[in-house]
Amino acid sequence: MQAIAGKKIILGVTGSIAAYKAVYLTRLLVKAGAEVQVLMTPSAARFVQPLTFATLSKRPVFMDVTAEDAWNNHVEMGLWADAMLVAPATANTLARLANGICDNIIAAVYLSARCPVFVAPAMDVDMWHHPSTQANIKRLQSYGNHLIPVESGELASGLEGEGRLAEPENIVAFLSKFFGVSQALVGQKALITAGPTYEAIDPVRFIGNRSSGKMGVALAKAIIEQGGEVVLVMGPSKLQPQMNGLTLIRVESAQEMYDHAVAQFPSCQVGIMAAAVADYRPLDPAQEKIKKKGDRMTIELVKNPDIAATLGSQKKSDQTLIGFALETENGEANARGKLTRKNLDYIVLNSLRDPGAGFGTDTNKVSIFGADNKVVHFELKSKEEVAKDIIATTLTKNK
């Protein structure tokens, strides 16, 4: 969530039952890397304790414009912030802000704010549709403020209709979009396999491959930037990825990667198999270092479980599974074969015939084949750009 990371956000919480959602909203904003300063009206504090917000935001909550520590701050805060967000904004608060009535700290900071202001209303369906409320909304928008649309559904009163506070994920997505990066993957969790696997021959030797893990890490970064969460199951790689929203599971062998991937996939909406997994492993790894003997030696290998194919066989209709095909010949035919055999939704072909593509490099050149027979070819690009192309083609194309 680069767009939100580092942003200073004032969150004004007003007295609505939806104030409880502002707790999760605070957590999402902080998790995305924002500095959050919470302001509350006294009636908001009757729904949620200020201590909850203070703990989550790691800053004191201000409620009283005349309090010693807040008196000068309403002007300073208005200048400090990159954005002011009023969520939930009650009908009363909308009226107050629309008419410049400065009788609480949120209104005082609002009038001092030079940053963009966002209001996320919350109220009952009839209050929302009342001409007074709608006129206040129009007036606020005419001053350049941004309306985060209400959502529709069951309301606290028991009535159904428009007036619900937008879900916290949607509020974060709205802000992020405003700041420049789509947040189409908020609420989505992706399992990514990355890097090589090492298959022990004896305690010092292994069968491995040249994967660096860069492609998988680039994918993790791109998904997190768009609001998603990632579980990255990574084989031995020098990379040390650290990001909010990333759970890193380090493994060595294909069997370990398989065990973790199979355990994680049911709680994910997306699986991306970017790892270069050894197809075979030594049947009987030696317990002690193998000594040099004759001119030849034979190691008997046994097949490893196929992670992508197993997840493909367990995939639910709301899960998307994306594989890679690393080929040296007959790229398209081999990729299509793997797409079908492993029951993938998409396969990303990279060929070692293309200079700059595949293992170890900072660049890659890919073609993406869909189970729907659609194909998209891309030029050589950085792995970060390739990751964004993969996500745009497979996960966010309709968003």
Q: Which of 260, 336, 338, 365 forms a contact with ligand PMT (CB under 6 A)?
A: 338
Q: Which of 137, 325, 339, 391 forms a contact with ligand PMT (CB under 6 A)?
A: 325
Which residues have CB under 8 Å from 223's CB, separation 6+? 185, 188, 190, 192, 229, 230, 270, 391, 395
The Cα-based distances of 138 to 114, 134, 168 in angstroms read: 20, 6, 23
φ and ψ at residue 292, rounded to 5 degrees: -65, 130
Q: How many CB atoms lie within 10 A of CB 362?
A: 12
Using CB under 6 A, which of the segments 49-57, 104-112, 291-299, 300-308 binds ligand PMT? 300-308
Q: Which of 308, 368, 391, 395 forms a contact with ligand PMT (CB under 6 A)?
A: 308
- If one asks whether residue 324 binds ligand PMT (CB under 6 A), the answer comes out as yes
Least distance to ligand PMT, CB of residue 357, Å: 8
- If one asks whether residue 359 binds ligand PMT (CB under 6 A), the answer comes out as yes
- If one asks whether residue 191 binds ligand PMT (CB under 6 A), the answer comes out as no
The residue among 174 and 324 lying less far from ligand PMT, judged by its C-beta, is: 324
Nearest to 13 by CA among 158, 115, 122: 122
Positions 258 through 297 that interact with ligand PMT (CB under 6 A): 273-277, 279
Query: Which one-letter DSSP state was computed for residue 327?
Result: E
- If one asks whether residue 65 binds ligand PMT (CB under 6 A), the answer comes out as no
Residue 375 contacts residue 355 (beta carbons within 8 Å): no
Please classify residue 83 by burial: count the beta carbons closer than 10 Å to its beta carbon, then call 0-12 exposed, 13-18 middle and 19+ buried.
buried
Least distance to ligand PMT, CB of residue 273, Å: 3
What residue type is assigned to position 218 of the chain? A
Least distance to ligand PMT, CB of residue 313, Å: 12
CA distance 192 to 217: 9
Q: Which of 73, 92, 136, 209 is catalytic?
A: 209
Q: Is 104 a catalytic residue?
A: no
The residue among 286 and 352 lying less far from ligand PMT, judged by its C-beta, is: 352
Residues that bind ligand PMT (CB under 6 A): 193, 195, 211-215, 254, 273-277, 279, 304, 306-308, 323-326, 338, 350, 358-360
Catalytic residues: 209
